[in-house]
Structure 1
Amino acid sequence: MSTLQQVAFRAGCSVATASRVLNRNGPVSDEMVRRVRRAAAEIGYRTSGRAGNRRPAIGVLIPSITNPVFASSLSSIQSRAMHAGHSVLIAQSNYDPAQEADAVASLLQQQPTGLILTVCDPEHSPALSSALPPTVLLGNLPTQRFTAAVATDNFGAGRDLTDHFLRKGHSRILFIAGHFAASDRARQRYLGYVKAMEAADYPPFEPLEISFVNSLDQLDLSDVVSRLKPTAVIASNDLLAIGVMGALRRQGFSIPHDISVAGFDGISLGLLMELSLTTVEIPEVTMGAAAASLLLDMAENAAPPRHLTVPYRLRPGGTVRNLKAVS
């Protein structure tokens, strides 16, 4: 049976240093952390912090457990974790930056192998301000401190979806999103929209930011539609796009005859509607599995952190009208 002394000898450090690394209870250089974890992995050492029959676990933070996108990611994370002998601990932030730190603190109490986090804004998240075990950002871009991330190019996705509308003759395109402070993904998609509009010499509209967590069946777009008279609406995710379609229909608009609508994510619900939703498919299952694999490699094998970019795909549907088509 391997011992802490053997880990320290193999890593070329003191027993106290090896203990600090493996129990995460003191300052240690990044290089030493990698050396100790690699040594522990090579000789099969497990810390007493995982004593008894308790199974090692991965902690996962998501914005909302009810969004099908995050449910898909969770499913693939759990599958990969179980294959590696880990369980999964889940917390949600409800798209609230103030709740993120408490949620992560709750996960840390369970002494996880590492964390997979989808935060509102990684540059300003209070959840990322303290010392953390190996951590992978999922859906967020990497930061200078947290360089391990699995994401898609949300800026490019926003630009390409806007170009899709422009090619079909739309120039009055409204962007509706959750509050950007609650989602850097939504903000990046909007910036891509702005880039495409400006490249086509059309003035972009200011975004309409609404709460992600409010009931979408109460969404009222009468004022903004009356003022801006858009021919098309881009929603920052598919659930919001479906809510937008409901709001427009309550106002008497026909989709896509009067107003076209599109979203992001590619959730299966968008394919089950009377008109399939035009969307940008984000491979959340692939991203979740990649994040789990990357985290386990970092935590168990002392692998260096990496930034993985997963490709997206535009999925045309029946909710976008071609204004250039002959009537």
Structure 2
Amino acid sequence: MTTIHEVAQYAQVSIATVSRYLNDTAGVRPETGRRVREAIAALDFQPNQIGRSLKTASTRALGIVIPSLENPVFAQAVSGFDAAARRRGYSVMMTTSEYDQHREIEAVETLLRYQVDGLALTATRSDAPVVRERLAANRAPYTLIYNEPTPDERAVVTVDNAAAAAVAAEHLVELGHRRLAMITGRLAESDRASRRRDGFVGAIARLGLPAPQVREVDFSARDVRPVLEQLLGTPATRPTALFCSNDRLAIAVIGAANRMGLRVPRDISVVGFDGIDLAREFVPSLTTVVQPSYDIGYAAAKAMLDRRAGQDPTMPVILPFSLRIGESTAPLGQDGPTTPRPVCPPQSNEAML
């Protein structure tokens, strides 16, 4: 196995310089760091992580807890988180909470026992005291992702969920819809869903329209058809457009509507939230609020590593969203556009994060 002494010789620097570079401590000039990186790559050097952890009190690992891997939006966030971590020489440990607060606490405790150097978490609610107190008591920096900032919790990377949901409502009203409804995941299990509900309902009230019906379902979307049948059971009063709190629910709603003999969007328009890639390929393609999930994960890892390095990044980080128009929305009685009209933010620029 290659030794640190051989790396130092190859890079023409001292062993101490290689050690400082590996431990991410100050004092290594950019040009010197470049030579050390090239030496490590050329010699396929693998540091002894156990020894380094004991010596530096750093595992060079970050943890991330997400609600579920079934929703692609969280996988995209993990991908961005991992990219930012690797760019700074860190590995990533991941686990899920399945929208269960007790599992969430267990997941955080497990990662902290592994002494991760930082932790990102999509909490059930950003104001949940048990998890926040446990994180605050630990010396490792943490960042909440997707959660809502609160007056006493600013370490958050997210989008403005209420404003984004309001844009969805305004789009449906612009198409001429006046009877609107929302299908959401359990509000008690997600502060994001609560804020999307608030934004949607609030926008409709500001526009002077009747309050929309709001129905809760499990985040798995397996129980969506009974709720949809209740909403759409009476043709004279049923809503002509639905907003769903995530894309998985929206896709499930479209499938259930088709099985009920309804056509989307001719009989009912559907808007989702997240902007997952699958929504483009679905038939009809889904109109959806796009949030930059990869960038959310990337910014979360960068912020916590900046704090670990002694910097003071501006928090919370509120990233932009957009509405991507697909084929699932149109004026009542009309079909959607034959091709989607994408309205998306530019591709991620990691250098800007």
Q: Which AA in structure 1 matches 2:320?
A: P
| Residue 56 of structure 1: how far off its partner (Å) | 1.2
Asked if the contact 1:220/1:247 (under 8 Å) is kept, the reply is: no
Q: Distance in 1 between matches of 2:219 and 2:129?
A: 18
Determine helix, strand or coil for the equivalent of 1:314.
Answer: strand
Q: Which AA in structure 2 matches 1:95?
A: Y
2:325 matches 1:321: no
Q: Distance in 2 between matches of 1:49 and 1:146?
A: 33
Q: Distance in 2 between matches of 1:310 and 1:302?
A: 20
Q: Distance in 1 between matches of 2:230 and 2:118?
A: 46
| Residue 280 of structure 1: how far off its partner (Å) | 0.6
Matching residue within 293, 297, 308 for 1:299: 308
Q: Which residue of 1 aligns with 2:241?
A: 232
Asked if the contact 1:155/1:192 (under 8 Å) is kept, the reply is: yes
2:167 matches 1:157: no
> In structure 2, do the counterparts of structure 1 residues 180 and 127 end up closer, same or farther at CA, with 3 Å as the change threshold?
same
Q: Which residue of 2 aligns with 1:32?
A: none
Q: Which AA in structure 2 matches 1:152?
A: V
Q: Which residue of 2 aligns with 1:135?
A: 142
| Residue 83 of structure 1: how far off its partner (Å) | 1.4
Q: Which AA in structure 1 matches 2:330?
A: R
Asked if the contact 1:217/1:246 (under 8 Å) is kept, the reply is: no
After TM superposition, list the pairs within 5 Å mapping 1:245-260 onto structure 2: 245-260=254-269
Q: Distance in 1 between matches of 2:189 and 2:245?
A: 12
> In structure 2, do the counterparts of structure 1 residues 325 and 273 end up closer, same or farther at CA, with 3 Å as the change threshold?
closer
Q: Distance in 1 between matches of 2:242 and 2:252?
A: 12
Determine helix, strand or coil for the equivalent of 1:51.
Answer: helix
The one-character-per-residue Cα deviations of 1:87-124 (angstroms, maximum 9, x if unpaired) are 11111110112221111001101101111111111112
Which of 145-154 and 256-265 deviates more? Answer: 145-154
> In structure 2, do the counterparts of structure 1 residues 221 and 313 end up closer, same or farther at CA, with 3 Å as the change threshold?
same
| Residue 48 of structure 1: how far off its partner (Å) | 7.9
Gaps in structure 1 of 5+ consecutive residues: 1-39
Gaps in structure 2 of 5+ consecutive residues: 1-23, 29-48, 336-353
Q: Distance in 2 between matches of 1:216 and 1:285?
A: 29
> In structure 2, do the counterparts of structure 1 residues 201 and 195 end up closer, same or farther at CA, with 3 Å as the change threshold?
same
Q: Distance in 2 between matches of 1:159 and 1:251?
A: 28
2:105 matches 1:96: no
After TM superposition, list the pairs within 5 Å mapping 1:1-327 onto structure 2: 41-42=25-26, 50-51=53-54, 55-124=59-128, 126-130=130-134, 131-132=137-138, 133-213=140-220, 215=222, 221-226=228-233, 229-304=238-313, 306-323=315-332
> In structure 2, do the counterparts of structure 1 residues 70 and 143 end up closer, same or farther at CA, with 3 Å as the change threshold?
same
Higher relative contact order (CA 8 A, sep 6+): 1
**Over aligned residue pairs, what C-alpha RMSD do you find?**
2.6
Q: Distance in 2 between matches of 1:217 and 1:190?
A: 17
Q: Distance in 2 between matches of 1:49 and 1:126?
A: 32
Asked if the contact 2:240/2:332 (under 8 Å) is kept, the reply is: no
Q: Distance in 1 between matches of 2:119 and 2:247?
A: 27
> In structure 2, do the counterparts of structure 1 residues 219 and 299 end up closer, same or farther at CA, with 3 Å as the change threshold?
farther
Q: Which AA in structure 2 matches 1:166?
A: V
Give the alignment's TM-score, normalised by structure 2: 0.75
Q: Distance in 1 between matches of 2:206 and 2:167?
A: 12
Q: Which AA in structure 2 matches 1:321?
A: A
Asked if the contact 2:182/2:213 (under 8 Å) is kept, the reply is: yes
Q: Distance in 2 between matches of 1:206 and 1:275?
A: 24
Asked if the contact 2:146/2:156 (under 8 Å) is kept, the reply is: yes
Identity %: 35
Q: Distance in 1 between matches of 2:186 and 2:51?
A: 43
Q: Which AA in structure 2 matches 1:316?
A: I
**Corresponding residue pairs, total:** 286
Determine helix, strand or coil for the equivalent of 1:174.
Answer: strand
